Amino acid sequence: MMHGISAAPVPALGLPFADAVNLVCMQKNSFPCVLYAVGWRESIREYGLAAATRTSDNNDGGHGIWQLTSSYPPNWQDPQANCAFAIDHFIIPALDFWFNRMGQTDVALIKCIAAEFNAGRSGAMGGFTLGNVDQNTTHGNYGHDVVTQYNRLLAHMPPTPDEE
């Protein structure tokens, strides 16, 4: 547990890419259920095993499970490489900012990290300053949905097939 976020592994529920997420998160001392919840929201929910080799359908340049857009590793189709890159370049910087500069913890921190992952820091900050960090995210519920999936995973339940 760090900053109120569990480091428990993604439970053994036969979920696509769970082993890769657990391995990389263990190596990087990160949060498997948070990473999986973001990957679920980005592409696993819709594409299952095909998520690893997906590029975005909406011309935003998204690559792989975490639909990395502004930058991505050359081997982005490798689930472990995609996960490691998402952690290093997006999740950890967001965690550092929202915890150290904005004082967020627990599920509020997860929601902020997820909102930044989806809408960028300026989009997340814009919503945050107006009282709803999700305001500028996809469908206005990205962070909320990631928190829902994170909590389901911690309860050893599979993520939901639809946005919550």
The model's pTM is 0.95
Asked if residue 1 belongs to a domain, the reply is: no
- CA 92, 45, 26 angle in degrees (round to 5)? 35
Asked if residue 29 belongs to a domain, the reply is: yes
Tokens of 79: 């689930």
Asked if residue 37 belongs to a domain, the reply is: yes
Strand intervals (E) in the chain? none
DSSP 72-115: --TTTTSHHHHHHHHIIIIIHHHHHIIIIIT---HHHHHHHHHH
Asked if residue 161 belongs to a domain, the reply is: no
Asked if residue 128 belongs to a domain, the reply is: yes
Reported as type and span, the H/E element at residue 149 is: helix 142-154
Asked if residue 70 belongs to a domain, the reply is: yes
The total number of structural domains that make up the chain: 1
The string of pLDDT tens digits covering residues 13-35 is 999 999 999 999 999 999 999 99
Asked if residue 11 belongs to a domain, the reply is: no
User: Residue 29 is part of which domain span?
Assistant: 18-154
Asked if residue 2 belongs to a domain, the reply is: no
The string of pLDDT tens digits covering residues 108-143 is 999 999 999 999 999 999 999 999 999 999 999 999
Residue 49 scores a pLDDT above 90: yes
Residue 62 belongs to domain with CATH number: 1.10.530.10
